[in-house]
Amino acid sequence: MATASSLFLASPVATAPTARARSTPSASPARPSLRLRRPSTLAAAAVQAEHQPAVAAAPKPPALPFRVGHGFDLHRLEPGLPLIIGGIDIPHDRGCDAHSDGDVLLHCVVDAILGALGLPDIGQIFPDSDPRWKGADSSVFMREAVKLMHEAGYELGNLDATLILQKPKISPFKETIRSNLCDLLGADPSVVNLKAKTHEKVDSLGENRSIAAHTVVLLMRK
Amino acid sequence: MATASSLFLASPVATAPTARARSTPSASPARPSLRLRRPSTLAAAAVQAEHQPAVAAAPKPPALPFRVGHGFDLHRLEPGLPLIIGGIDIPHDRGCDAHSDGDVLLHCVVDAILGALGLPDIGQIFPDSDPRWKGADSSVFMREAVKLMHEAGYELGNLDATLILQKPKISPFKETIRSNLCDLLGADPSVVNLKAKTHEKVDSLGENRSIAAHTVVLLMRK
Amino acid sequence: MATASSLFLASPVATAPTARARSTPSASPARPSLRLRRPSTLAAAAVQAEHQPAVAAAPKPPALPFRVGHGFDLHRLEPGLPLIIGGIDIPHDRGCDAHSDGDVLLHCVVDAILGALGLPDIGQIFPDSDPRWKGADSSVFMREAVKLMHEAGYELGNLDATLILQKPKISPFKETIRSNLCDLLGADPSVVNLKAKTHEKVDSLGENRSIAAHTVVLLMRK
């Protein structure tokens, strides 16, 4: 999915719009008419943060014994494109419109792992404004996330992913996808779960116009 | 979001409709034609539960070492309204239609924390039928949730939030939003994660008609 | 929801389409024009995996101290059908179109528990191609999931569920649903949380044409 976060490294041309913290009155719920701006450091901070090298920004996480993460991704389905799910090229009449290979499952697993670690997300590390990732195989992103996880001192506890798509049937490919996911994660099948649901023919997901995935992960301190 | 749960303190006028537990046959999956009603205590219980003070209802949680929570919130975007995300007023041509300030990120963080603790949700504690919360700054709700978390003997392990909106780009504000979230949570940035995804121009989220957020939290026993 | 995963036991007639693993170049992100097929074992594996008894496939999970799971389910709402939520028959003018009783809450709790354990999902264990489950009371599925959880050596830590529906108000029934859920789980109310959100009148969920639920669970090693 062209992620809003993928625009984290916004084009330098666009002047960074300034955001204003809302003054936060102690108890009274009524909002003050005059919204206090923080000093202009807010604008500077927003710009400065934006251009900091994505991966270095996150401070060293405290040694939590466990960390939870959630990833979500959605791609539009367009006729004639390949449908890659979990690194497996699934025969179908349409596939994902994306900068990379549009693998919603791998993207959302990557975001769940990076999210659990408090690290920059997939759009920050692999921005879709970077030609290097044009048509990229998402297993490249997966290997980076797994590397960062081990470097941060964590390993996968377990992972539970839910694919949402109306067609095609995923069941014939479930174990193949899961085993490829296990390979990429370096994890035992019993801690890597995948299930698929339809969207009952409603909305873009149910009308075969898009595909989405949710993943939750529990990481464990090594 | 005007939550169905926000109607927990349903107006006293509406007679509480009665719900019937479905008789649950031991093994045979076929549903009995006659659905047995529990004694009318069910209706009384539903009404009685409804008018119990929201916060007192939940019994003292057993001392689990960890608790997981998930929050979801969605608001419609309407032209001319402010767009407040994580307490930051983001420059945009539209904002959230809500009883409070419509801060989907803070609402869903609050619901994830209260949900993890098994406490009444944001709609029960701050019902949108209460004029006090009209236009309220959602940091008020956040402070209450954090207070209840500490009172229940828990602290934040880590939090992973995903914003879903088509526009504007969130990247220029990500660190500002995250640092405000850390302030409200009293937490280190490395355990508070935020990412944003678009909805690829499909459905209300992709057509810039709504904004949503998912948050997962892992709470730790103090 | 008629789950894509419910078709796991695909009708034997349909020849199993073959999926091809995408060749995964070491570093270079550019996708090779020629996609290497794994040997035809891939096709055999897909068919063979499909017809394996659903429950036996999953190897014995390693003794993780905690496991996280996420379930999602959605059903279309159609006039004149019963609306069963958490085993409670909620008075409404429409209900879920489903093979079983269409209880999105119980289905998604089952999928969260099975997902946390890395076991086959609700569609694999109770396929909607099986006449035995026609109109089935979803508490049958819940009891099986709880049985499998205990057999795997785990118990419920805590559970946080979010119902998404525009109508009717769930608040009058929240405690009744929650207590039925606790009965089915054999769990204390303080570790079983339920909240409801509307979808702000947008998309199928907001237009009263569907109902959905998300559930996260944290399971603990006994």
Average pLDDT, stretch A60-69?
84
Q: How confident is the model at residue A19 (pLDDT cuts 50, 70, 90)?
A: low
Interface of B with C in 67-86 (CB under 8 A): 67-76
Do the chains contact at B124 and C217, CB–CB below 8 Å?
A: no
**The pLDDT of residue C54:** 53
Average pLDDT, stretch C12-36?
37
On average, the pLDDT of chain B sits at: 80
**The pLDDT of residue B171:** 92
Closest-CA distance of chain C to residue A212, Å? 12
The 10 Å CB-count burial string (b at 16+, else e) for C165-180 is bbebbbbbbbbbbbbb
In a domain, C171, yes or no: yes
**Which one has a higher pLDDT value, A19 or B99?**
B99
Q: How confident is the model at residue B54 (pLDDT cuts 50, 70, 90)?
A: low
In a domain, C41, yes or no: no
Q: How confident is the model at residue A128 (pLDDT cuts 50, 70, 90)?
A: confident
Map tokens 């008629």 to a residue. C2
Domain with B187 in it: 66-221
In a domain, C43, yes or no: no
Kindly compute the dihedral angle of the four CA atoms of residues B106, B110, B113, B114, in this order, to the nearest 10 degrees. Answer: -170
**The pLDDT of residue B5:** 33
- Residue A112, H or E segment: helix A104-117
In a domain, B210, yes or no: yes
In a domain, B111, yes or no: yes
Burial of B110 (0-12, 13-18, 19+ CB in 10 A): buried
Instruction: Please tell me the total count of domains within chain C.
Output: 1
Q: How many CA atoms lie within 13 A of B58 on its CB side?
A: 24
In a domain, B158, yes or no: yes
Q: Is the pLDDT of residue A145 over 80?
A: yes
Contacts with C198 from chain B: Cβ below 8 Å: 1-4
Q: Is the pLDDT of residue C131 over 50?
A: yes
Q: Is the pLDDT of residue B40 over 70?
A: no
- Residue A83, H or E segment: strand A83-85
Peptide bond preceding A82: is omega within 30 degrees of 0, i.e. cis?
no
Q: Minimal Cα distance from B101: which residue of A?
A: A31
Q: What is the CATH number of the domain that holds C90?
A: 3.30.1330.50
What is the C-alpha separation between B216 and B67, in angstroms, rounded? Answer: 11
3-state SS, one letter per residue, for B104-151:
HHHHHHHHHHHHHHCCCCHHHHCCCCCHHHCCCCCHHHHHHHHHHHHH
In a domain, B198, yes or no: yes
Closest-CA distance of chain C to residue A92, Å? 10
Residues B121-178: pLDDT tens digits?
999 999 989 999 999 999 999 999 999 999 999 999 999 999 999 999 999 999 999 9
Do the chains contact at A175 and C57, CB–CB below 8 Å?
A: yes
Q: Is the pLDDT of residue B108 over 90?
A: yes
In a domain, B26, yes or no: no
Residue A29: both structure tokens together: 């719920």
What is the C-alpha separation between A106 and A109, in angstroms, rounded? Answer: 5
